[in-house]
Structure 1
């Protein structure tokens, strides 16, 4: 019997190597793995709510609270209550984050360029299209599996 290698194995391996390189470049910032989250908060310039960020990242409320608490404890982010809806919190960056985000973005760009060396723009476009299609193909099954797990817990 021939063993089929799961597509996820290659994706996970590349992700681990990528994150290892990224982590070494920006480890002095003490952010661990939330570089992209911080860059998104920064890019939205105080107009992003905690809920909207969670929706964008596919994270639930409790996960987002933990992430924002982590970034807050390290002095990168703070919450500001929406004066029009006190249930919402806008996420804003501190001066410390203002200084760090350009370095994070530069690291993303540098590593992206390295990983895509000798890969044409057309190949990258195809790669992202294929990843998107694969994700879309799996969504119904992921939701079905989640529903099955939820029903089993009752």
Structure 2
């Protein structure tokens, strides 16, 4: 006789993952139509309205490795959305910033994020939305989560 085990659906994590996957994949599809990934969007949003910053500072702010930021930046540089500038005093030092095209593109992508949120959460009342946000932010804090969810 096999021991009794809980059902997958008995776990809050199962339901959280169902919703998270739906929200994330829906947003990724919206961004893919604009030829941008979620990770690229996140990097661009971090640079938006900021002075150019070093890849290491950006990595710290996003909770990613410097290598991951460098790879993301490389893809965005190839799309003419981000520019890499080298310090004239130290060619090893560099900063990343949005190009004019990148700055103009971020608000367009932000609308997609807003539309995705509306499509996924519009059925919630303002109070339900506020409570859900408080619960999720509290869990993030208690678990010490710092990496930006980009994958």
Q: What is residue 85 of structure 2 aligned with on the other side?
A: 80
Aligned runs of 1:128-147 on 2, under 5 Å? Answer: 128-139=133-144
TM-score (norm 2): 0.73
Question: Deviating runs (4+, > 4 A) in structure 1?
Answer: 82-88
Aligned with 1:48: secondary structure?
A: coil
Structure 2 distance, partners of 1:132, 1:19, is: 17
Q: Does 1:3 align with 2:9?
A: no
> How far apart in 1 are the matches of 2:72 and 2:11?
30
Task: Give the CA deviation at 1:128.
Answer: 2.1
Q: 1:133 to 1:85 in 2, by over 3 A?
A: farther
Structure 2 spans left out of the alignment, 5+ residues: 146-151
Higher relative contact order (CA 8 A, sep 6+): 2
Tell me the residue number matched to 1:148: none
**TM-score after normalising by structure 1:** 0.72
| Runs of at least 5 residues in structure 1 that lack an aligned partner in the other structure | 141-154
Rounded Cα–Cα distance in structure 1 between residues aligned with 2:90 and 2:127 = 45
More strand by share: 1
